[in-house]
Amino acid sequence: MSAVVAGAGPAHACFFATYEQSKHTLGHLTRHRHDHITHGLSGCLASLVHDAVSNPAEVVKQRLQMLHSPYRGVWECARRIYRAEGLRAFYRSYGTQVAMNVPFQAVHFVTYEWCQARVNPTRAYDPAAHALSGGLAGALAAAATTPLDVCKTALNTQEATADGLAQAAALVLRTSGLKGFFRGLHARVLYQMPAAAICWLTYETFKHILAKTEDGGGDGLAKDRTGGVSNAGGVGGVGGVGGGLMVLALAWGR
């Protein structure tokens, strides 16, 4: 649980702050004529920042999740990895993480914004619409990037056996065949659906509350539509921790 909290909070804070700022800036530059491209690019930029923060925690979490893991806790695991493999071990899978999360977040944000445009066209605060859009976006993005997630897991748990995306893919193919790239598909989708729904719902809820507070008790709708960039970091951190903790049991079963 400590690894989820330590990684999810700061990573999601940076993630949503980057997304809101990028969406605001790109939307202004394009005059909102290419919103799908704007949402996709903003998600990609946010992913680069998020992964740089979250990758060490992800490595520790997956080492602890291994069957018969020799590690007894988060900090012991981190220390032993650092002493045995050096700092590079925490970022061995960063390239694969980025290769997976850039398309993941592109699909995720485009799908979320597309769903919002159809089930919540006024972009008012609507908990059901936010949760539904987030869940569908998380499920679709998870299914599309499962092969890359399998390779990332191999890099994080096989220590020096594989070094890089190509070697990890070759290892999976050699040991499990093509079907190995889709191992855990259902668990990954079941993990990402509630995580994304909870994260988006929490984010949109706190964003709405803070917008109302800054607006002096008004409806806060204008600020909800235009970004709320200054609040995105803190709100995103709360959303990330909430999503991570609520699906922790599923995460341990992956």
Please report the pLDDT score of residue 56 as a whole number.
87
Conformational region of residue 84, where left means phi above 0, alpha means psi within -120 to 50, and beta covers everything else: alpha
Please report the pLDDT score of residue 175 as a whole number.
87
pTM across the whole model: 0.68
pLDDT in tens, 99-143: 878 888 889 989 999 999 999 999 899 999 999 999 999 999 999
Mention every residue, 6+ apart, whose C-beta is less than 8 A from residue 35. Answer: 27, 113
- The pLDDT confidence band at residue 214, using thresholds 50, 70 and 90, is low
Q: Work out the average pLDDT over 205-230.
A: 60
pLDDT in tens, 243-253: 444 444 333 33
What are the respective helix, strand and coil percentages of the chain, to the nearest 5?
Answer: 85, 0, 15
Q: How many helices (H) and strands (E) does the chain have?
A: 11, 0
Helix (H), strand (E) at residue 237: helix 229-246
Lowest model confidence (mean pLDDT) among 58-72, 138-152, 192-206, 224-238: 224-238
Number of domains in the chain: 1
CA distance 12 to 207: 14
CATH of the domain at 6: 1.50.40
- The pLDDT confidence band at residue 217, using thresholds 50, 70 and 90, is low
pLDDT in tens, 2-52: 555 565 677 878 888 888 888 888 988 888 788 888 988 998 998 898 888
Residue 239: is its pLDDT beyond 60? Answer: no
Q: Work out the average pLDDT over 151-166.
A: 73
Q: Which domain holds residue 165?
A: 2-252
Got the DSSP string for 116-160?
HHHH-TT----HHHHHHHHHHHHHHHHHHTHHHHHHHHHHHHSGG
